[in-house]
Copies of this chain bind each other. A is one copy, B any other.
Amino acid sequence: MKIAIAGLGTVGSGLVRLLQENGAALELRCGCPIKISAVSARDRSKDRGIVLDETVTWFDDPVAMARDADADVIVELIGGADGVALALCEAAFAAGRHIITANKALIAHHGIKLSEAAEAKNLSLGFEAAVAGGIPIIKALREGLAGNVVSGLYGILNGTCNYILSTIRETGREFDDVLADAQKLGYAEADPSFDVDGIDTAHKLAILTSVAFGCRINFDDISVEGIRHVTALDIRFAEELGYRIKLLGITRRTKDGVEQRVHPCMVRLESPIAHVDGVSNAVVAEGNFVGSTVYQGAGAGAGPTASAVAADLVDIARESRRPVFSFPAGNLLSLPTVPMDQHVGSYYIRLMVVDLPGVFADVAATLRDEQVSMEAILQHTPAPGAPVPVVLTTHDVKEASLKRAVEQFAAFDTVVEPPCVIRIEPLAF
């Protein structure tokens, strides 16, 4: 089987190393050797720590490579939701070649269109590497749990955010400070917004939702909230209340449709997912026969991502052709979005207040008027004259009511900062 690789960055170089180091075992697994016939990368002379065979053809234009290379499979490792990556996939399918990609933005935005093109020609579109790095979660959902109707899943899908939240908790330092360090260490991009604003998690969640439910991808309707507003103070309060704060992607089928959301969550300390720290990823999926199953491992990096690409290569070599998103593209469900206003859950609210006795009466009246039932209240003796943090947690309440109450809190003269609201998530794992 001949493959052409577009992009020789960290993952591309990792894939070359994997194919070389593990070539003998792969040949037995595939029933044939995997040969790199072509590559495309910006700089031919750059030292990537890899040695390519002299027979490998270099292409300057990855789209031309996808069209013209002597290859059965094109591996797309360039990135970007549109542009070259998309053009390359379309060219590959037009030329009758399989595609493997690690590109979550591309799949989240164009996955359905691409799956239609692939399935029309009985070609594969592999994207195991796009979600949760080396964890074979796409395969688990599409094949391992194929006997189940999946009711929902949730996971830690972004290592950068998980690292930042873990570090704030361990050090007590604030978000901006920890982010700057993460950037220096290479754990966060120069422009961190895709990660810390939750967009990367949403890309992955959109893909998982489609594979889990057999429905059309709906990235645009995901309710997305990042972690910029999470302070060391909130993380300390969370500990005091018995919670850890994690950025989760959550998707659930309800009788009304699908609820897809990305936001920081307070999860109980006893929950295993509370202890998934640093750059690890973890996904919990719930099927109607299997119950809860958990998958955990490295969510990024050259080795794990190359591992996922290689798994897709073996699938193609073994002629394992499946519907890309569990059901054939023409049969994918179109499930309505359940608006966040209808979400029912419990909430953590932190107010910074200057006049404690006054604010309590106002808060209580607002909660009563909006029919929000309070579970607990937490308040520490302040430094004299400084604003006092007051923390409320609620019982289950409709998000719309909660929002109206918080808007009123924000308008109080005694509340001197925008309230911080974090959802509390009861989880099976």
Residues of A within 8 A of B (CB): 14, 18, 21-22, 25-26, 28-29, 31, 128, 133-136, 139-140, 143-149, 214, 272, 275, 282, 287-298, 303-304, 306-311, 313-315, 318-323, 326-328, 331, 429
Contacts and interface: CB of A to CB of B under 8 A. Distances in A.
Contacts of A144: 128, 136, 139-140, 311
A139 B29 CA distance: 13
Contacts of A148: 22, 307, 310
Contact of A292 (B294, B295, B297): B297
Contact of A275 (B134, B272, B290): B272
A327 B289 contact: no
Contacts of A287: 134, 307
A311 B272 contact: no
11 contacts: A22-B288, A25-B327, A28-B323, A133-B290, A139-B143, A139-B144, A147-B306, A147-B308, A290-B297, A293-B298, A295-B295
Given A145-B307, A288-B303, A291-B304, 16 more contacts: A28-B214, A28-B323, A28-B326, A29-B146, A29-B214, A136-B140, A146-B311, A147-B311, A147-B313, A289-B303, A289-B304, A289-B310, A292-B298, A295-B295, A319-B319, A319-B320
Contacts of A22: 147-149, 288-289
Given A293-B297, A294-B295, A298-B290, A311 B143 contact: yes
Contacts of A292: 297-298
Contacts of A294: 282, 294-297
Contacts of A272: 272, 275, 296
Contacts of A29: 146, 214, 322-323, 326-327
Given A28-B214, A28-B331, A147-B310, A304 B290 contact: yes
B134 A293 contact: yes
Nearest to A138: B144
Contacts of A28: 214, 323, 326-328, 331
Contacts of A313: 147
Which 7 A-B pairs have CB atoms at the shortest separation, nearest pair first? A147-B310, A136-B144, A134-B290, A293-B297, A290-B307, A294-B296, A289-B303
A136 to B, nearest CB: 3
A315 B318 CA distance: 12
Nearest to A298: B291
A134 B291 contact: yes
A18 B289 contact: yes
